[in-house]
Amino acid sequence: MFSMRGFRKKRQRASALLLGLLLSLQALAVFPALHALVHPDAGDADHECAVTLFSHGQVDASTAAPAVFRAPASLIFSQSPPKIIFVSADIRLLPSRGPPASPAVA
């Protein structure tokens, strides 16, 4: 049975966990000594982890605005009735498909 109270508690726990992870990631990025406690090779030039990527701003986030489709006014304000086009070919069964098979009787 689905409980709204249980869902809210799980959602709050998950959001608290994610917030805690983000704050710890920021703390490790700001304090190099704290990062060195976690990774002994944190001072190396070729060291790459989530903390160094975050501190250098190399996070994968969307920066582009979503595309908005705007219909031309001729499509919106049309005085002519819509045209109905009938297809003259029978396309119920594709050429590569056969009729449905009857179920096997045991």
Which pLDDT value is given to residue 74? 60
CA dist., res. 102 & res. 90, Å (int): 23
What confidence tens digit (pLDDT) does each residue in 9-62 have? 888 999 999 999 989 988 888 888 888 888 888 878 888 888 888 877 777 666
Scanning the chain, the segments in alpha helix (DSSP H) are 4-30, 32-38, 50-55, 73-76
CA dist., res. 9 & res. 57, Å (int): 33
Asked whether the predicted pLDDT for residue 77 surpasses 70, the reply is no
Give the start-to-end residue ranges of the domains of the chain. 28-58
Which pLDDT value is given to residue 76? 59
CB 29 within 8 A of CB 55: yes
Which pLDDT value is given to residue 15? 92
Which pLDDT value is given to residue 54? 80
Asked whether the predicted pLDDT for residue 100 surpasses 90, the reply is no
CA dist., res. 63 & res. 24, Å (int): 24
Whether this model's pTM surpasses 0.85: no
